[in-house]
Structure 1
Amino acid sequence: MARSHRPAEIQDQLKERNFSPLRRAVKVPVWADLGGRIFAALFLVFIVVMIHWWDRGGLVDNLDGDVSFLDVVYFTMISITTTGFGDIAPISDRARLVEALIVTPIRFLVFFIFVGTAYNFIIKRSWEKFRMARIQEQLSDHVVVLGFGVSGSEAVGELIERGTEPSNIVVMDSSEERLAAAEAMGCNVIEGDATRDESLMAVRIGQAQTVLVSAGRDDASILIVLTVRHLAPHVPISVVVRAADNEILARQAGANNVINPVRFTGLLLAGSAQGAHIADYLGDLASITGRVQLVERPVLPEEIGKPLSELVTGGRGLRIYRNGGACGFWENEAGALQAGDIVVEIRPTDAEGVEGEFVT
């Protein structure tokens, strides 16, 4: 597939376009925040109206001498807003004391509510939009999830369970409903077509820690992998495909890991046929909520020269990846770890210091 745009050119084009920026959910919905503020202000005004009506004998109307309920409401509003026309005024000592000790503090509270509302809905939200634009420009070492269907949403939930901060996850999808679900989980979201260069450049795909692709269709997922690999030659890519013959195509497109949920389901079914607890253990390994977990990590300096069976983490070594090949714990190569080895070990879920990528 021919590509006419270079990453630098696309980045310049993004600066010229009004491209959809990152979003992140606020802790309180806008309508709830605004409604709460309005209710609080009206409640305070109601209290002042009741106080003035109760003490209306201490007020004087310089126009007709009679203080009606409408006059009380009017006096309350000009009192709280510190307008003060002088047509209605407190004349008794008690009325002036009430005005000084009760109405004045309420006046300040109402004032702070209005100022806080202006800050929250104008200044703060403008600042948040600016901050998200800055985050988008400086994204680095983040997890990009392209497609938030069943597999993508489950992957994000599992990542968060395993300790990944939602603020370090960027979800791209074309469905506003799916993006809303990802935003509710605390993730950064952006609406876009993951097969387009400019969409991927907007999330700084080249600086990502890893990319997870689950477009829902194998052809779309493979095209996305091709596009990601074109823009980010060295970023690890994991992709979900459902047809066995597309696994080779996905790897040829540049995917490092190809996950076939149908094949994994078949493994669980076959395992259950061989023993009642095999499928349970496989599911245990696949989820952070299980009792054990698989961890992939680089060999530690203090482990070099030692056998795979003597890991300093206390885990059970299962496999070594060395020079592009895999060595099992029973093979001779596992007798001495070397610098540059990648170790796959199994540990209890509650073990301290668990790091690295989890292998499924």
Structure 2
Amino acid sequence: MARQTQRKMSDYFTLRRRSSLPIWADIAWRVAFVLGLIGMAVAVHYFDRNGLQDSYDGDVSFLDVVYFTMISITTTGYGDIAPVTERARMFDALVVTPIRIFVVLIFVGTAYNFVFKRTWDNWRMKLIQSNLHNHIVIAGFGTSGSEAVQELLARGTNPEEIVVIDTSDDALALAEKLGCAVINGDATRDNALMNVKISRARSMIVSAGRDDTSILIVLTARHLAYHLPISVSIKAADNELLARQAGATTVINPVSFAGLLLAGSCEGAKISDYLSDLASATGRVKLVQRAVTEDEVGMAMNDVVGAGLGVRIYRGDTVIGFWETEAKKLEAGDIIVEIIPGNGSEHPAAEDA
């Protein structure tokens, strides 16, 4: 019930598309278009000025035409100059009236784009930023980034807790459809990461598509958030060390992982199938890690994993296998990696029944 009443960040955020024109050029073409419409109306009125009647002096000069056109377009209409012929009246009805509508829409649209919309978007951005706590930042929403987001959602992560940074409007549109907050920006820049409150994030996934860009993003994020766990996708094996030196907590090489699956399939098709099962949230089994609790200190790993299967212990920089003697006595600060039933499996009790 509480989740239903919780506000979504996407309710306060809309995708903004940057115009290729600078602001001054955008305003200039609008003004030029308005002046062009008014100029056309003035020209037709002047050439057909015999169809107008001036109740003041009876003479319709060029200035009178300009005056009449402007008050007609602005719908003021004082009545001192009026169309008297059918042709002049039809021109006012069929041409000047649409021009009047266009001019009003252009001015209203300009005011909206450059005043109201910017103020509104800035307010909504500040509202989103105030709600960004313990979130996950995704830098790059290409193939790997989008797969990571979908896997997070499959694992039960609330889409409101995911913020996607990318420079592609198409990619951001897809991320927004998933319910994520999105921002069009360069993740290698400090401002972009500060806008998503990187210092308050719980983790970050970097998948920029290029190793050099991904490493630069890691460097930028690390100096802004020294405590942040950062996972990065690196394609070239010789760049993995650079990524770790840049501050990446976890380095994933999709090419190497694919090679592991292919090599495993040579020993038997079920091995690669099981590895894929472990990596997916929708599989029958999945890998999880957790810290040892105070009550578990001194106990054996196999006695604390419950229905799961403990496979490894991380004790500082030491890696301990489940068969080793150290696994029989847990210590404070240990991290346990275990295999537990996944979303694709039935409950063990149901299978026994």
Fold in common (TM above 0.5): yes
Aligned to 2:188: 195
Structure 1 residues 321 and 208: alpha-carbon distance in aligned structure 2, compared to 1, 3 A threshold: same
How many pairs were matched up?
237
Distance in 2, Cα, partners of 1:179 & 1:197: 20
Alpha-carbon contact 1:25-1:186 (below 8 Å) kept: no
**Could you say which residue in structure 2 is the equivalent of 1:253?**
246
CA-to-partner distance for each residue in 1:103-162, whole Å, 9 max, x for gaps?
A: xxxxxxxxxxxxxxxxxxxx9xx9897455222134110000000000000000000010
2:277 pairs with one of 271, 284, 290:
284
| Superposed CA offset, 1:177-210 (max 9, x none) | 1000000000000010000011111111111100
* One-letter code aligned to 2:199: G
Distance 1:129 1:291 in 2: 45
**Equivalent residues of 1:303, 1:312 under 8 A apart:** no
Corresponding letter in the other structure for 1:311:
V
Aligned to 1:313, the other structure's residue is in SS state coil
| Residues 233-312 of structure 1 aligned to structure 2 (within 5 Å) | 233-312=226-305
**Compared CA separation, residues 25 and 158, structure 1 to 2 (3 A):** farther
Gaps of 5+ in 2: 1-7, 16-115, 346-353
Give the conservation status (yes or no) of the 8 Å contact 2:190–2:220.
Answer: yes
Relative distance call for 1:307 and 1:23 in structure 2 (3 A) is: closer
**Amino acid corresponding to residue 315 of structure 2 in structure 1:** R
CA-CA distance at 1:339 after TM superposition? 1.2
CA contact (8 A) 1:212 1:239 kept: yes
2:10 to 13, 24, 29: 24
Report the counterpart of residue 201 of structure 2 in structure 1: 208
Question: Aligned AA for 1:299?
Answer: V
Distance 2:245 2:291 in 1: 26
* Partner SS, residue 24 of structure 1: helix
Give distance in 2, aligned partners of 1:243 and 1:218: 7
How much identity, in percent, do the aligned residues show? Answer: 58
Secondary structure of the structure 2 residue equivalent to 1:245:
helix
1:1-360 equivalence runs, <5 A: 24=10, 130-350=123-343
Cα displacement (A) at 1:276? 1.9
Q: Does the 8 Å contact 2:282/2:343 carry over to 1? A: no
Provide the aligned C-alpha RMSD in A.
2.7
Provide the secondary structure at the position in 2 that maps to 1:309.
helix
- Per the TM alignment, residue 176 of structure 1 is displaced from its structure 2 partner at its CA by 0.6
Distance in 1 of aligned mates of 2:173 and 2:122 = 17
**Cα contact 2:136–2:202 (8 A) shared by 1:** yes
Q: Once superposed, which parts of structure 1, at least 4 consecutive aligned residues long, lie more than 3 Å away? A: 126-132
